[in-house]
Amino acid sequence: MTTALIPGSFDPPTKGHLDVIARCISLYDRVVVGVVLNPSKNPMFTSEERIEMMRVSCADWPHVEFVAFDGLLVDCARQVGAEVIVKGLRAMTDFDYELQLAQMNRHLSGIMTMFVATAPSLGYLSSSLVKEVALLGGDVDDLVPPAVAAALKERIADE
């Protein structure tokens, strides 16, 4: 049985994230989504909110598991018994950095990273861009799951 860990900040989750998860479900026996508790960038949503948005957005896939983690990704992978870390790649600009992370994680623990090419229609999508467009009054409803669209509207209205 192969367990895949899909890590991220998910601040907020986008349809790009769901696309990667959907493909992992058909490839791996067990899929665990790892939500980093303290992302390097100042998050718009708390870790609880990000995990809840992921749970609701993945409700059609009851077997997907969720874990919150702090510290090293490889320690989280060890704890959940993952043999593989999976990352989505949107463009070559992602590749340089992601390759560096993959090689460091392999150095630290021997774990392998697999890259999933994002669907071409979602290649321009990122959580940062979604937040920026939403904060400036743009429509992001097509780019994020419905629960995330609602949470963004609520958060922006509160600001």
Interface with ligand PNS (CB under 6 A), residue total 10
Stretch that binds ligand PNS, among 59-67, 97-105, 136-144, 146-154 (CB under 6 A): 97-105
Q: Does 36 bind ligand PNS (CB under 6 A)?
A: yes
- According to the binding rule CB under 6 A, does residue 5 interact with ligand PNS? no
Binding positions for ligand PNS, 61-90, rule CB under 6 A:
72-73
* DSSP label of 82: -
Mark the segment that binds ligand PNS (CB under 6 A) among 25-33, 101-109, 116-124, 136-144: 101-109
Annotated catalytic, 9?
A: no
Give how far Cα 58 sits from Cα of 15, 53, 82, 130, 158, Å: 11, 9, 19, 19, 26
Stretch of residues binding ligand PNS (CB under 6 A), selected from 3-11, 59-67, 135-143, 149-157: 3-11
Q: Mark whether 107 is an active-site residue.
A: no
Residues whose CB is less than 8 angstroms from the CB of residue 31 and which lie 6 or more positions away in sequence, other chains included: 3, 4, 6, 21, 24, 25, 61, 63, 64, 65
Catalytic positions, written as ranges: 17, 41, 90, 127
